[in-house]
Every structure is written in structure tokens, then in C-alpha cells.
Amino acid sequence: MSPMIKTDAEKKFEQYRESLHQEITNMACYIRLYTRLHERGADRLDEMNIAPAFFQIVINALLTAIVLWVDKLFGERSERGLMHFLSFVENNRELLDIKELQRRNNYPADHWFLRDRKAITLKTIQDDRERLRQIGSLPSFRLRRNTFLAHFDKEYFFDREKLYKDAPILWSDLEEVLKLAKEVLNNYSVDYDGREFDIEPWNVTDVDMVLDILHRHRKQRLNGDEKA
């Protein structure tokens, strides 16, 4: 059987989802490592305090990366973000027709994957746009990006507490943006050709290995001093 010739729109969709997958994974890495460092502060604070400046700089840098990536992925005017992706899908809805899914995967008409499957409609896309807009923490991410990270706004440069008060970011906010980004990408990817991305960070537990090695080293030194 000769290979299927892809249209320009299909090539663009596949390129788009691969790039979004990569950037959502980057965001997942930043979020997971940021939260993991805070979690390990509960039982490995002494080890972190061996090099406190290093760990504090890493934590601050991770939060900066998270704010920037959330703004890039969710911003209304962000080029190539999730909103832009939805506009591309809206303008190429024929790509996600159920018959196209059947053709791409060479499924028989009665294949279980096609059974009771609902077609992507304009309303589907509009509903997803609204879901992205309704993330309650987006104004906080945007305010931090626009008034402190992109440039120093006088009001917040001289009053950091005001920044934290006006643009709070909670642990639940980090989970929400990651969950929704994964859902939107996978919903359209699955309808395109059945492919679902398992978006997980790379080796976030490496930091556990480092902290646990430091912990064992500290214990050995303390035990050695006690014996001496």
C-alpha cells in the first residue's frame, strides 16, 4: 500500500501539536521541579541550607519560567500558543472530521474507536477557548509577566509585597494550567489520528537523589563526630 500523502494543513497540524507538546512538557518540568523543591524542604531543609543561595536561585528561576510559559501558552495574543492553535483548528475543521480519522488509521466503519464518537464543531472550539479564558489565575500570571518580568513597573519594583498581593499564585493554579493544557492538546490530537501525549516531566526526582546523597553524607559526618 502506498504511503498516505499529507496535505499542507495536515503537516501543519502535526508540526503544531509536536511543538505544543514540547512546550507543555517544558512547563510541566518547571512546575513539577518547583513544587518538588518546596515539598522536600519539609524533610531536607538542612541539606538545602548547605547551599542556600543555589537552591533559592533555582526556585526563583523556576517560578520565572513558569510565569513566562503560562503566559506564552495561554495568552490571548500569544502567537503559536493554545489560543492560536484553536484558531488554526477552527480554520481547518475538516482535518478533524471523523471520516478523516477513519481514513488516516485505515479503520473499518464499525471500528470501536469510531463508535459514538462526536465530531469537532465550532461550538467545541469556542467552548475550549472559554475554558482557557476562565482560568482564574491567568490575570496573576499576566500581571507578573507584564509588570515585573518583561520590564520593571515602578509600582511593583519598589513594593514586592504588593506584587505578591495583587498577583497571587497558588499550588492549585499550577495544577490547573497544566491539566487544562494537556487536555486541550490531547483532545484534538486524539480526534486527528488517535494519538494521545503522556506529558510528564523529565527526571524531576533527580533532585531527590541529590538531596538524599547529601542527607546520608551529613548523617555519616555527624555520626563520625559523635564517635570522635
Give the model's pLDDT for residue 221: 82
Q: Is the pLDDT of residue 3 over 70?
A: no
In the chain, the amino acid numbered 122 is L
Orientation angle between helical segments 171-193 and 8-40, nearest 10 degrees: 150
The band of 116, judged by pLDDT with boundaries at 50, 70 and 90, is confident
What is the average pLDDT value for the chain, to the nearest integer? 93
Torsion sign, CA atoms 203, 73, 37, 175: negative
d(CA 62, CA 204): 13
R_g of the chain computed on alpha carbons: 23
Q: How far is CA 30 from CA 63, 176, 203, in A?
A: 8, 14, 11
Average confidence (pLDDT) over 103-123 = 93
SS3 115: coil
In this predicted structure, the answer to whether residue 203 has a pLDDT above a threshold of 90 is no
Instruction: Report residue 78's pLDDT band, with 50, 70 and 90 as the boundaries.
Output: confident
8 A C-beta contact, residue 31 and residue 25: no
Pairwise pLDDT comparison (149 vs 221), residue with the higher score: 149
- Give the pLDDT band of residue 82 (cuts 50, 70, 90): very high
